[in-house]
Amino acid sequence: MTQLWISFAIVVVLLVVIAVLIRRVRALRQQLAEYRELLTRAAEGQNIRQDGDADRFKRSQYFARIGTWDWEVDTDRLYWSDAIFGMFGFKIGEVTPSYALFCSCVHPDDRARVRAGELRCLETGENHDEEYRVVWPDGTIRWLRETGNVVRNDHDAVIKMMGVVRDITEEKASASYLQHLAHFDPLTGLPNRLVLEERLSEALEHARMTETRVALVFIDLNGFKAINDRYGHAAGDRVLITTATRLKRILRVSDTVARIGGDEFVVILQGLAPGLNLQDEARSICQKIFIELSPPIPIGNDQRHIGTSLGVAVFPDHAPTMDRLLHIADLAMYEAKRSGNNQYRLVGGQTLSHGRAD
């Protein structure tokens, strides 16, 4: 039931965030279209100050955090509308815009790419469209998106570039958050099943090339439902978070621990030597997990020991493919669970006990 509510909450959050992003993108697209129309008119020599265009320009820039720029390529003189100063961390009029100042504000890792894009626009006349980071005087990093095109004189020579720039920092953050939700468990911060399968696939491919083994360990918490029923979901969440933290402590950099739902976790252990005895290796791995998870967890006024059941499968000894390895490790875990508390089972082997029955 807990997992169902968590999944429902995640879906609701995702839908809300996506709806907000869609509305924002539509509004920005409309505003950008207006700017491009005005810039086109300016490039064709029309007066954009007619019919209240200038006032509309300023109002739109203020609310949408979009500014206009104008770069004279021969003199390197640069015009910024008022909205752009703040995008670069300056007060209006605090600095005199120049192309050199602009380049110094762009993040060092992005300068060459931005410069190359602008030169390509000057040489080919193609639309310039680039996302890049700027570093404010106080060290703050913001994301901007810049679009523009060339302006030519009567002799078809390029005399300037004109365009718009807008702050997309929040959009980047929202996209990053959605990406995180799609790949990581929101409660524990562990990789979810999608990432688990990606990493397991990579681990198996590496094992094939290096002729090593990969151990897959399914972990199930015993009595977790009783914790939820007696102490509430907050206590259950505390158990899951504590378990995740403890499992991460015993892993190497190359290993992975994921939460795949409810009270089930999976550990991927890479680079195991091919000549080791599987029974000894499984015993060593599972004893480490049992020891790390054995300390009691404080819940209310109680100290609760949380038992576990472990199922182990090893590639390539037990299965040649990822799906088969996942399936038989899961079956081994349920075999261990049926045998009692704090048990583990190696595929094809007997059920072994940690030695403590809580």
Name the token pair of 182: 């799609």
Catalytic residue check, 263: yes
- 333: exposed, middle or buried (C-beta count within 10 Å: 0-12, 13-18, 19+)? buried
61-95 burial: b if 16+ Cβ within 10 Å, else e? beebbbbbbbbebeeeebebbebbbbbbbbeeeee
Determine the Cα–Cα distance for residues 283 and 102; give it in Å rounded to an integer: 61
Residues in Cβ contact with 247 at an 8 Å cutoff, skipping those fewer than 6 apart: 219, 257, 265, 267, 289, 292, 293
Nearest residue to 118 via CA among 150, 155, 92, 142: 150
CA distances from 80 to 36, 44, 113, 238, 354 (A): 16, 20, 21, 52, 70
From 220, 263, 323, 358, active-site residue: 263
Is there a contact between 256 and 268 (Cβ–Cβ < 8 Å)? yes
Residue 309 phi/psi, 5° resolution? -125, 130
**Strand, coil or helix: what is 8?**
helix
Looking at the annotation, which residues are catalytic? 263
